[in-house]
Structure 1
Amino acid sequence: MNLDRQQLEAFACILDEGGFERAAQHLHLSQSAISQRLRTLEQTLGCALLIRTSPPQPTAAGHTLLRHIRQLRLMEAAVADQLRPAPGRNISLSVAVNADSLATWFLPGVQPACARQGLLLEVMLDDENYTHSWLQRGEVSGCITALATPLAGGVAEPLGMMEYACVATRSFAAQWFPHGLQGLCWQQAPAICFNRKDSLHAHFIEQHFGVLAAQFPRHLLPSPEAFLSAIRLGLGYGFVPVMQLPNLAHEAELVELTPTQRQRVMLYWQHWRLEPEAAQRLSQAVMAAGQQVLVQLPHTTH
């Protein structure tokens, strides 16, 4: 089956731009021309590719085709660069990253590769338990995830463990945990969570109090900066990446609630087994950085 490249680009542009009108403006076409190209492509493939919502969303078949288009773009860019190298040529890659990795080690880790290879990143921010869905839908070329099982056609490379310390101000700890972590203090003490997907507190409560905690008082602050600010202000207790603690050491008011029992989350870099050269270079940079700064599992000998 020969797929028309203009039709493919029209389909991808509708999703990239968030609608038919903006896609038409981007491609310098009329809306009717964009609609016709999509309609013809759907007739050729014999299936619907878009859900006509606002913004439009890809169907299951649309996700598969979108992944193909994005891989095709990367491969064409790599071939063009080999045949006709151009100084300053940039290649765009989309990745899904959890907030704590983005706020700590991810950008310093990939900066040399981006600068050296001319890589431009579009980062999709999500919880590490959900980033793999971006890869599964074909919207990114790789993701930092807690999922150890590789997706079909993909690879899950172990990066290491992100270690977290449970911290609060001294005054907050004295008010809400005057006798340490016991009793039902978790039912009243407000927590600071990143969003509703943040599961560290539920694991913490289960570990220390032996109960499953579906509900507990919490502030939801989907920003690493606001998250830390809320803890400093005494609004609640929260889990901070241990690698951030040296920067907080001068703040004598912050204390660890469980200094001998830190939370750890194993992270993986999931990417496609067959990926263009630019994506390979990014994968190598992410894996090298993660394995350098994250807590590594001890090697076992047999």
Structure 2
Amino acid sequence: MQFDHKQTEALLAVMDSGSFEQAAAKLHLTPSAVSQRVRQLETALGTPLLVRSRPCRATLAGQQLVQYLRRARLLEQDFLAGFSGAASATLSVPLAVNADTLSTWLLPAISDFLISENVLLSLTVDDQDHTHALMQEGQALACVASEPQPMQGCLVHPLGILRYRMLASPQFHARWFAGGYSREAARLAPVMVFNRKDALQADFLLQRFGLRPGAYPEHHVPASEPYLQAILLGLGCGMVPHLQADPLIARGELIDLAPDQPTDVMLHWHHWKVQSPRLERLTRRLVEVAQQVLLQAH
């Protein structure tokens, strides 16, 4: 069958915005018109594509179709730009990355490329254990993830290790750990947690002291800069990636509570085997720089 462009654009608009109302505003239509186009597409394919919840979610068939449509649209845009001689036409690329990658090495690694190649980023930020799922759902065409196995039809490149250390300010250390970083002290001291998906602190405390979540007080600060600032201000101790941690430890602004127990997270770059030319070049640039910036396994 041949897809109806208006129907597929309606589906993508709902997936991008999460609702028929916002999709309608984007497409300058009524919500009922958007709903009708999606239903016509579902009827043509003989299967539901959306779970009409808040926000709307794609069914398995919907995820597969959205993946295909995003890839096809990117390939078409890049091909037409090159074919017409307008290689400098902007190209928007949806990527999924973890917050610590975004706040440390990603943008310095690819900013020159994005400017020279006129590529626009559409970033979705999630935990490194969950970004891969965003690619599976069709919300991203490539991702930085901890998952080492590629999806069917995809390739994966190892990027390197982001090493985390459990850090605290000198004032926090003096208040809570003057007698040493012990199980009893760790049970009472507040811990910084990025968000509900962040398991770094929980895994560390379980391994070191056998403390389970709920056995110690927690702050939840779901933004990278405020999270680090909260640790610097002495609100709690928490895991910080080495790219941020090392200079702060060297200057004495933070103390490594467990220098014998870093947490290493291996990051990988996932992308489809068939990519647009500019996404292929973005992949080469990102992998090359990441392998220089991140720690490498021996």
TM bracket, shorter-chain basis: over 0.9
Determine the C-alpha separation between the residues in 1 that align with 2:70 and 2:232. 43
Q: 2:89 maps to what in 1?
A: 89
- Per the alignment, residue 3 of structure 1 pairs with 3
Residue aligning to 2:99: 99
Matched, 1:23 2:32: no
Q: CA deviation at 1:290?
A: 1.2
Question: Equivalent residue for 1:34?
Answer: 34
The residue number in structure 2 matching 1:164 is 164
- The residue number in structure 2 matching 1:231 is 231
| Residues 12-21 or 158-167, more deviating | 12-21
Displacement of 1:274 in angstroms is: 2.0
1:12 equivalent to 2:50? Answer no
Contact 1:144 1:268 in 2 (8 A): yes
Cα shift at 1:17? 3.2
Matching residue of 2:259: 259
* 8 Å CA contact 1:74, 1:278 repeated in 2: no
Give the match's secondary structure for 2:269.
strand
List alignment gaps of at least 5 residues for structure 1: none
Q: How far does residue 246 in structure 1 lie from its aligned partner after superposition? A: 5.3
Percent of residue pairs identical: 39
- How many pairs does the alignment contain? 297
The 1:62–1:252 alpha-carbon spacing in structure 2 relative to 1, beyond 3 Å, is same
After the TM superposition, which residues 265-284 of structure 1 pair with which residues of structure 2 at under 5 Å, given as runs? Answer: 265-284=265-284
C-alpha contact 2:155 2:271 (8 A) present in aligned 1:
yes
Quote how far apart the aligned CAs of 1:171 are.
2.3
Structure 1 residue 179 displacement after superposition = 2.7
Quote the residue 2:221 is aligned against.
Answer: 221
Query: What's the CA shift string for 1:9-44, capped at 9, x where partnerless?
Result: 121122223333333333333444323322221111
List aligned pairs for 1:117-196, cutoff 5 A: 117-196=117-196
Alpha-carbon distance change, 31 to 204 in structure 1, aligned in 2, over 3 angstroms: closer
Residue aligned with 2:112, SS: helix
Q: Give, in whole Å, the separation in 2 of the partners of 1:30 and 1:183.
A: 59
Change (3 A) 1:183 1:25: closer
Secondary structure of the 1:128 match is coil
The answer for the alignment partner of 2:44 in structure 1 is: 44
Q: TM-score, normalised by structure 1?
A: 0.91
Q: Structure 1's 213 and 72: CA in aligned 2 closer, same or farther, altered over 3 A?
A: same
Q: Kindly state the Cα deviation for residue 212 of structure 1 after the two structures are TM-superposed.
A: 5.4
CA distance in 2, matches of 1:196, 1:166: 18
The separation in 2 between residues aligned to 1:31 and 1:264, in whole angstroms, is 47
What RMSD in Å do the two structures reach over aligned CA positions?
1.9
Q: Deviations over 1:193-234 (max 9, x none)?
A: 11121122122223322x252333211101111111111111
- State the SS of the aligned residue for 2:135: helix
Give the Cα–Cα distance (whole angstroms) in 1 for the partners of residues 278 and 236 of structure 2. 43
TM-score (norm 2): 0.93
- Which residue matches 2:54? 54
- Structure 2's unaligned 5+ residue stretches are none
- Cα offset, 1:181, TM superposition: 2.4
Report the counterpart of residue 286 of structure 2 in structure 1: 286
Q: CA deviation at 1:245?
A: 3.3
Q: Provide the secondary structure at the position in 2 that maps to 1:14.
A: helix
